[in-house]
Amino acid sequence: MKKNRKNLALLLLAASLLAGCAGQSNSQSSQSSQAKSEKKAESKASSKSAAKSAASSAVSSTKSSSSQASSKSAASSSQRADANRMGTLTSQLRVKLPGMLLPAADGLGQGSSNLNIRYTSSSSQNVVYYSVGNSPLALNDSRIASEKPYAVLTEKKNVADASSLINYQEPKTGLPAVKIAGNVTGTEEGAAGSTYLQFNQGQWSFVVRASNVQGQKPLPTAQKLLSLYQQYGLPDTAAKSSVQVDVGESLGSLNTVITWAKGSSVYQLKAHSTETAFKMLKSLN
């Protein structure tokens, strides 16, 4: 009897231990399941956040691209409007001054939207004045006369002796040689408080004048002049022609003077900027 009681006690103890293990296992399984659910929820939240971030980035990128496209479009429209103003005024000039060579480009880096043009004409010459005002005005508006021209183009008609107007300079000898660039060499001489640096290319003579009083040097300007000539060229001319540049550029100074012959006419372009002059002459027709 005692033995049966002892066995019964052992069975009850074993049953209790088994129940405890099963509860612990169920608890661990429940915790594992809860952890998996939490991770799954975190993953979904992360995915949603990433999707929102990507969508926001895409919207931002689209807005940025749209803004850039709008800016480019506005700039392009402005450039077309500037080019159209020069084209419109030049078309009107061709009617008023038939047969005269005229530039299609204004040569400006800025201010084209306020480009203004006036002209005078007689039996012996045509003169066209290019300026930038506070507002765009009609061709030959009387108010343009008060504006300082940045370029002046003159055509002298039916010229018997072109050489007297062109002032071409033959290459000099017996003077100090100055290397300008590459194989191009010029000569230098001083006179009346100035230094003159000259070089020749084809039918053209180039002379740069620098003021000794102002401490100017002609070489840098001569080097720039040669570079512009090599980049843009100059009008075709059968006669010997000239380019004269005074060192220093300022509005209204017209320090660059380019003179050449075409048929029975002699043309001269004066400009405050040498580069502007070359750009205008490149588009001459």
d(CA 150, CA 249): 11
User: How many CB atoms lie under 10 A from the CB of residue 105?
Assistant: 17
| pLDDT for the residue 113 | 95
pLDDT the model gives residue 62: 45
> Phi/psi of residue 131, each to 5°?
-145, 165
pLDDT per residue, tens digit, the chain (285 aa), is 444 444 444 444 444 444 443 444 444 444 444 444 444 444 444 444 444 444 444 444 444 444 454 445 444 444 555 568 999 999 999 999 999 999 999 999 899 999 999 999 999 999 999 999 999 999 999 999 999 999 999 999 999 999 999 999 999 999 999 999 999 999 999 998 999 999 999 999 999 999 999 999 999 999 999 999 999 999 998 799 999 999 988 778 999 999 999 999 999 999 999 999 999 999 999
- As a whole number of angstroms, the distance between CA 132 and CA 144 comes to 9
pLDDT given for residue 83 in this prediction: 61
Half-sphere exposure (Cβ direction) of 180: Cα atoms closer than 13 Å = 24
CB atoms inside a 10 Å sphere around CB 270: 19
For the question of whether the overall pTM of this predicted structure is more than 0.85, the answer is: no
Give the start-end residues of each E strand in 148-255.
Answer: 149-156, 177-181, 184-191, 194-201, 204-211, 241-246
HSE-CB at 224 with a 13 A cutoff on CA atoms is 18
Per-residue pLDDT of 104-123, as tens digits, reads 999 998 999 999 999 999 99
Q: How far apart, in whole angstroms, are the C-alpha atoms of residue 203 and residue 4? A: 137
Give the per-residue pLDDT at 68: 54
Query: So what's the pLDDT on residue 238?
Result: 78
Long-range contacts of 247-254 (CB under 8 A, 24+ apart): 247/208, 247/209, 247/210, 247/211, 247/216, 247/217, 247/218, 247/221, 248/211, 248/214, 248/216, 249/273, 249/274, 251/148, 251/150, 252/148, 252/149, 252/150, 254/149, 254/151, 254/152
Residue with tokens 């660039």, as numbered in its chain: 181
Rounded to 5 degrees, what are φ and ψ at 127? Answer: -135, 130
